[in-house]
Amino acid sequence: MEINFCSSCGAGMENRDVDGTIRRACTKCTFVHWGNYSIGVGALVMKDERVLLVRRAQEPGKGYWTNPGGYIEQLEPIEETVRREVLEECGVEARVRSVVALRDQPRGVHNVYVAFSMDYMSGEPTPDNVEVDAAGFYRLEEMREMNVAPFTKWLVDVALNGVAEGLAVDREPIVPLHGYGLFRV
Ligand SMILES: [Zn+2]
């Protein structure tokens, strides 16, 4: 889809060479349309040897069991998004431990999905009955009998069988860096 009007000042857009690439750029201000991107987050909440799954009540993926997740908001720290999504979808409080996987999907809206390993804190899995209609902690053997989404199967394997420690959240960086979510290997 061609961008005809500047989303910053409303003036017309034109094709312009920006550092060697033709991009849509504003004829009046400095705005450049860099592209369309979205960032998804997924939670792998572990409790003993079990993983928190929810059953999707809406399309896409209605009827499939997946890990909780969603999309980041403009001004919401990513760590907060994933914590909020877990709480909203199934009433479980969990805390980010590390980033365990990343999925890149270049398409019309280029999507990057970040999967977090999370520690269970509290709460009994209870579906919100809007986005999801069932929730619980399940062992790998139990999942084999369930309609688990293929990507979730992959993520669960990473979470349970991955050998790397992943990118761990740094809650006390050695220098104050406000406004950043920081993860260390
Ligand atoms: Zn403009």
pLDDT value for 156: 94
Contact 133, 155 (CB under 8 A): no
Q: What is the pLDDT of residues 76-109, one digit of tens each?
A: 999 999 999 999 999 999 999 999 999 999 999 9
The DSSP symbol for 30 reads: S
Query: Model-level pTM?
Result: 0.87
Residue 62 in tokens: 């209605």
At 162, is the pLDDT very low, low, confident or very high (cuts 50, 70, 90)?
confident
At 163, is the pLDDT very low, low, confident or very high (cuts 50, 70, 90)?
confident
Buried b (16+ CB within 10 A) or exposed e, 52-87: bbbbbbeeeeeebbbbbbbebeeeeebbebbbebbb
Please tell me the distance between residue 109's alpha carbon and the centre of ligand 1 in angstroms: 22
Please tell me the distance between residue 40's alpha carbon and the centre of ligand 1 in angstroms: 28
Please tell me the distance between residue 123's alpha carbon and the centre of ligand 1 in angstroms: 48
Q: What is the pLDDT of residues 25-75, one digit of tens each?
A: 999 999 999 999 999 999 999 998 899 999 999 998 999 999 999 999 999
Domains of the chain: 1-34 (2.20.70), 37-163 (3.90.79.10)
At 180, is the pLDDT very low, low, confident or very high (cuts 50, 70, 90)?
confident
Please tell me the distance between residue 24's alpha carbon and the centre of ligand 1 in angstroms: 11
